[in-house]
Structure 1
Amino acid sequence: MFSALKQPAVLRQDALASLVVFLVALPLCVGVAVASGVPAELGLITGIVGGLVVGALPGSTFQVSGPAAGLTVLVFEAVREFGLGMLGAIVLATGVLQLVLGLLKFGRWFRAISVSVVHGMLAGIGLVLIFGQLYTMAGVKQPRSGLDKIAGIPGLAVDIFTDSAALTAFAVGAGTIAVLVVWKKLPAKAQLVPAPLAAVALATAVTVLGGLDVANVEVRGLADAIQPPGLNDLTSLGGVAVLGTVIAFTLIASAETLFSAAAVDRMHDGPRTHYDKELLAQGVGNAVCGVLGALPMTAVIVRSSANVQAGAKTALSRILHGAWLLLFVVLLPQAIGVIPLAALAGVLVHAGCKLIPVKELAPLWREHRGEVVVLGVTAVAIVTTSMFEGVVLGILLAVVKTAWDTSKVQLDVRELTDGRMVATVVGNATFLRLPRILETLEALPQDRPIEIDLSGVRHLDHACRTALEGWAARHNAPGTEPVLMRHPEPEKAAV
């Protein structure tokens, strides 16, 4: 990174890339903060820390960190339940936990989380964002639960078409989405301006020049927005509900960061990400954000990909993007106050749509239908319950699915010339396959000598062994030779 200071060409390229990332990050930092129910400045503070602090730490060279749409729903729920004062304590605890996990070399293990769970998590977040921000686009207070948000859509539509103020605000948001969609189809020179910035700037210009009466972002000032956690907030971290939120923050932020790192590494030929160091860097960043009372951070794929595509050469580009954010907040804070909330809501509705893996569903259904079920259940659970419960349910379902897939067993019954019947079991005999095994065995006659051959079993769990022994002890009728069981060798059964 420091070598770039001695190479004018590299320094110039990194500076240009940092400006592109800054222009992408600016509207997203503000939008994520507003959607999370916190002052807009807190999103910018997280972006600044992500650039100046995390950007200077080892881990990933090109990945850019800041507030992410993926945590918006969880932050909103946490602020609503525990209050804004507790947000800093929760984010601080999240950072400390990430530091512990990084020191224990857990970074690589986050890649073991099922991709279907991650996609389901992002899809669930996307759906909640879409349905929630539709209300903000119309200037209407959104319902609390995901189900209420969905159920209230017909009533929202009525409000939009019967209330001129709601219709005006919704038109601004819809226009913002239209610009975001169309921008990618414009000539390459026009696309030098990031789509989110162009969409928000155009929406702001329309509302200002047209004198439209729409709600704008409230500006409090950087010093007033910073709220370090107090002693009471820190002592409240021992509560079960708060600990659950900290764990959810840690799991989702870390998983999103490390999955983003894997995606960014595929975009360039430079140094690969060191996952444990990146987790440590995220821990430091979140700890600093927690002390400042700001939003939690993750690595963000939109900003990271913009950084790579802009031709960044070193980590200097992501550090400079944080410096531009800081200068903007210090020199032009009032510029935030003219941004219409409906425009930011439109940006997040568009971001929510991009979180739903629509293109991957059809091929995934053809090849791995069970993965689609895990994805769908995770997404629906997040919408209907909460982020934490949905992710936990998705992980449990993925574990069960994996156990089911690996516990394949084959049971063959044959009759020998002397009338003896032999049932041969091959594969992994676990409790998940026990109903089928017992159903086949119980259909065997009770007045014939029977042998159960388990020598071909690679794994025999305790539940299955106990059930088979119980069946063998009681199956044959009195006067008939007892069922003979040939157990697998110990070392084979333990595989």
Structure 2
Amino acid sequence: MSTDTDPARRMLFPGLSSVFRHDLPASVVVFLVALPLSIGVAVATGAPVAAGLLAAVVGGLVAGLLGGSSLQVSGPTASLTVVVAQSIVQYGWAATCFITIGAGVLQVLFGLSRLARGALAIAPVVVHGMLAGIGVTIALQQMHVLLGGESHSSSWASIVDLPRQLMSVHPGDAFVGGVVIAILLGWRYLPPVLRMVPAPLVAVVTATGLAMVVPTSIERIYVAGTLFHDITLPALPGGGWGGIALAMVTVALIASVETLLSAVAVDRMQPGRRTDMDRELIGHGIANVVAGVVGALPVAAVIVRSITNVKAGARSKASTMFAGLWILVFAVALVDVVQQIPEAALAGVLIVIGMSLIKLAHIRLARRAGDLFVYAATVLVVVFVNLLVGMLLGLALAFALLLWRVVRVVIVATPVPGTENGWLVAVDGTCTFLALPRMAAELARVPRNAVVTVEMTVDFIDHAASDALYDWVQQHRSLGGTVELVEMGAVRLADLAGGPPARGHARHLLDEMLGPWRRTPRVDPVTAGIAAYHRSHAHVVRPHLGELLDGQNPDALFLTCADSRIVPNVITNSGPGDLFTVRNIGNLVPADGRDTSVEAAIVYALEKLAVRSVVVCGHSKCGAMDALYHERVTGPGLDDWLAHGRPTLQRYRHGHPVAAAAATAGFGPVDQLGMVNVAVQLETLAAHPVVRRAMTERGVVLSGLFFDISSARVMEITPSGIGHIDDASGSVTALPVQ
């Protein structure tokens, strides 16, 4: 028996049991949500009612079948309402169908050109502003319909005429529209059982029923004859081809962006699924070509319906395709029902949809990110000019803001507190010729004989800025001042001598900081490291060392191995004056004070420096532990020293609990011995009279650490086990002991 393992084939041909169990019920829910919205979008654009229903059919059957997503639901969308309405007013419905075909062809080309991901590069603040502008425009236009009037072609006309419309409101239409809005806004507060029925459907059905009993005239949807009687097939425009092309591009871009953003949202809800974005654009492009040919509105994936489809339990493309089929059946068989729907009811639905496009979360995000100006400008231009101009302006402003942030540099010259004539000039950011006026102004503030530190924290510097800085340095020195040039950023001024400027990376800084640790052969690593230290770090350490001139006050006595791979201040994230460090082969503490060097360090640290903790730190791949474990003869001197570790070897062979925990964690015998060694040295220190007295009288703490070189992580060692030190809180998670 063969097994079908092709995911795409499973989406197209799911098992019948899954279709009937999951997709069929979900398609009914999607149908009930899409029906009133499809009719409402058609009425709002001024297109035939059937154009909205046909768009939902094409979106379900064509885009659903050919697209790259298995759960997205496509159809007429509020985001295209404004541009389609303008097209109908300017060119007529037949030419608008032709525009829809052209937009579909462009979407197919987008998909074939692999540009789908590129559409997601549009700044989110522009998309949010564009949607908010569309929402405001829809609400302003439909407000007149809700009050019993006619929608206007522009937002400005809608605002100007609103006072007159309020004075001549039709009570029946306003009542029905108000009920719809109240139901839609209050539906979320009802019990979950009731919320299983889509709110737009309940609102429209309720409004239709009220319209039959309200004792006043109410405008209803007009349909001449059959539902498809008013359908007009596409026709070539009589002229204005520049505007036609612009409209095609606008529809294609908006439909593509909304479709891709919806796909991203649906993928987040279904972690195991990934939409083929290019195929999704191709599928929607073909759907729009079909929509234009049959006289339907342009289609795009609609995020609200798509999320509804996912939450309803859909598993495959069958759900959205069935939803399109149900709308087709409704459009053919129930035309009389459509004619009973009040226009004010659909206006109420569209007003709520339009206002829902204005999200407070987007406004807060724009404010927090410093993009509020871009958001506001996009909204205003979309509302009062048109959608395409608003989007283009928003993109231009977003790019200008990005460029300003990228090339921005902060240059500040300030006196150094506590010094007689010290000044600090901080240069931070991207330093180009654009920064020259700012640089000149700040450098002019520095007195002629000042002792200046120029701190360069830049990720890019061009020759113009570099030359200007060097010229000032030479001039200041010639006038009797001194200048120390400190380069802390990712680029170096000396690099400009070898070619054009390039942006530096933080990795370069890390390489320089850890340069002496690298295994690459160097002519004189110590001297080169000192030069790098003077160039980039000495001035940072200098003020701290100034506070330690009169004495040291370390927190801990840190006893560790002499292995060159262990850098105590790096693995403890500490600095000068924090650790009183003692290093020897194998981080051993000879019992009974038999080694005067270690003994002197213990006494001095605890009785003279009064450290608050004593730390023993071992490490993996330790040569001393390897020699001890294999009982190798290492020669005079080393054998005598390693004899201090024999108690550790005996405790390990007798089954120390730390060894068991280390074995469970996957460490080999030599590293297990190294961890046991840390625990044994802690016991030796705890028995030392000086340490014991400090623990009793001052609460000195003993700690054990083990540095795993392969993972660059530090673990805690106790006399009974080991544990991982948590990155976030510093807490320790104990590892199990067998």
Normalised by the length of structure 2, the TM-score is 0.59
Q: C-alpha distance in 1, partners of 2:108/2:28?
A: 30
Q: Hey, what does 1:190 align to over in structure 2?
A: 194
- Cross-structure match for 1:205: 209
Q: 1:347 aligns with which of 349, 358, 371?
A: 349
What's the counterpart of residue 231 of structure 2?
A: 226
Quick one: structure 1 residues 491 and 457, their matched pair in 2 at CA, closer, same or farther if it must change by over 3 Å?
farther
2:180 aligns with: 176
* Shift in alpha-carbon separation, 1:26–1:222, aligned structure 2, 3 A: same
Find the aligned partners of 1:435 and 1:252 in 2 and give their Cα distance.
42
Q: Which residue matches 1:332? A: 334
Confirm or deny: 8 A CA contact 2:413 2:425 kept in the other structure.
yes
Could you tell me how far 1:210 is from its partner in structure 2? 3.2
| 1:99-146 Cα distance to aligned partner (Å, 9 max, x none) | 111111111111111111111111111111111110011121233322
Determine if contact 2:433/2:465 at 8 Å carries over to the other structure.
Answer: no
- Between the aligned partners of 2:432 and 2:42, the Cα distance in structure 1 is 48
**Corresponding letter in the other structure for 2:136:** L
Post-superposition offset of 1:181: 1.5
Secondary structure, aligned partner of 2:131: helix
**Cα distance in 2, alignment partners of residues 74 and 114 from structure 1:** 21
Q: Which residue identity lines up with residue 74 of structure 2 in the other structure? A: S
The separation in 1 between residues aligned to 2:343 and 2:435, in whole angstroms, is: 54
Change (3 A) 1:423 1:184: closer
In structure 2, C-alpha distance between the alignment counterparts of 1:461 and 1:29, rounded to whole Å: 57
**How much does 1:10 deviate?**
3.6
1-structure distance, mates of 2:311, 2:54: 25
Amino acid at match of 2:326: W
Aligned partner of 1:140: which letter? G
CA contact (8 A) 1:457 1:493 kept: no
Q: CA deviation at 1:314?
A: 1.0
Tell whether the 8 Å contact from 1:378 to 1:391 is kept in structure 2 after alignment.
yes
C-alpha RMSD of matched pairs (Å): 3.6
Q: More displaced, 110-119 or 182-191?
A: 182-191
Q: Which runs of 5+ in 2 are unaligned?
A: 1-10, 416-420, 480-492, 505-738
Q: Secondary structure at the match of 1:428?
A: strand
Q: Is the 8 A contact 1:31 1:344 kept in 2?
A: yes
Distance 1:180 1:391, change over 3 A: same
| CA offset digits 1:377-402 (Å, max 9, x no partner) | 21112112111111111111111111
Alignment of 1:32-431 (within 5 A): 32-160=41-169, 166-210=170-214, 212-220=216-224, 221-232=226-237, 237=241, 239=242, 241-362=243-364, 364-365=366-367, 367-368=368-369, 370-411=370-411, 426-429=428-431
Residue identity opposite 1:313 in structure 2: R
Give the CA deviation at 1:81: 1.6
Question: Match for 1:11 among 12, 15, 20?
Answer: 20
In 1, Cα distance between equivalents of 2:216 and 2:304: 31
For 2:162 and 2:462, the matched residues in 1 are separated by: 50
Deviation per residue, 1:21-77 (Å, 9 max, x gap):
001000000000100111111011110000010111141111100000111111111
How far residue 437 of structure 1 moved from its aligned partner, in angstroms, is 4.0
TM-superposed deviation, 1:248: 1.6
CA contact (8 A) 1:454 1:488 kept: no
The one-character-per-residue Cα deviations of 1:192-246 (angstroms, maximum 9, x if unpaired) are 221101100110011123354111112243543332322446x754x2x222222
Give the length in aligned residue pairs: 476
Question: 2:99–2:248: 8 Å Cα contact kept in structure 1?
Answer: yes
Q: Which structure 1 segments of 5+ residues have no match?
A: 161-165, 481-485
Asked whether the equivalents of residues 125 and 366 of structure 2 are also in contact (C-alpha less than 8 Å), the reply is no
The structure number with the bigger radius of gyration is 2
Q: Which moved more, 1:182-191 or 1:109-118?
A: 182-191
Equivalent residue, structure 1, for 2:628: none
For 1:265 and 1:116, locate their aligned partners in 2 and report how far apart those are by CA, in whole Å: 21
More helix by share: 1
Larger displacement relative to structure 2 (274-283 or 15-24):
274-283
Distance 1:100 1:443, change over 3 A: farther
1:163 matched to which residue of 2?
A: none
Once the two structures are superposed, residues 254-300 of structure 1 have per-residue CA deviations (whole angstroms, 9 ceiling, x without a partner) of 11111111112222344221111111111111111122232111100
Cα distance in 2 for partners of 1:212, 1:275 equals 51
Tell me the residue number matched to 1:22: 31
Provide TM-score, normalisation by structure 1.
Answer: 0.85
Structure 1 residues 455 and 56: alpha-carbon distance in aligned structure 2, compared to 1, 3 A threshold:
same
- Structure 1 distance, partners of 2:48, 2:462, is 54
Paired amino acid for 1:310: A
Q: Does the 8 Å CA contact 2:284/2:300 hold for their aligned counterparts?
A: yes
Distance 1:255 1:459, change over 3 A: same
- 1-structure distance, mates of 2:92, 2:307: 34
Q: Look up the equivalent residue of 2:181 and give its one-letter code.
A: I
Inter-partner Cα distance in structure 2 for 1:412 and 1:188: 59
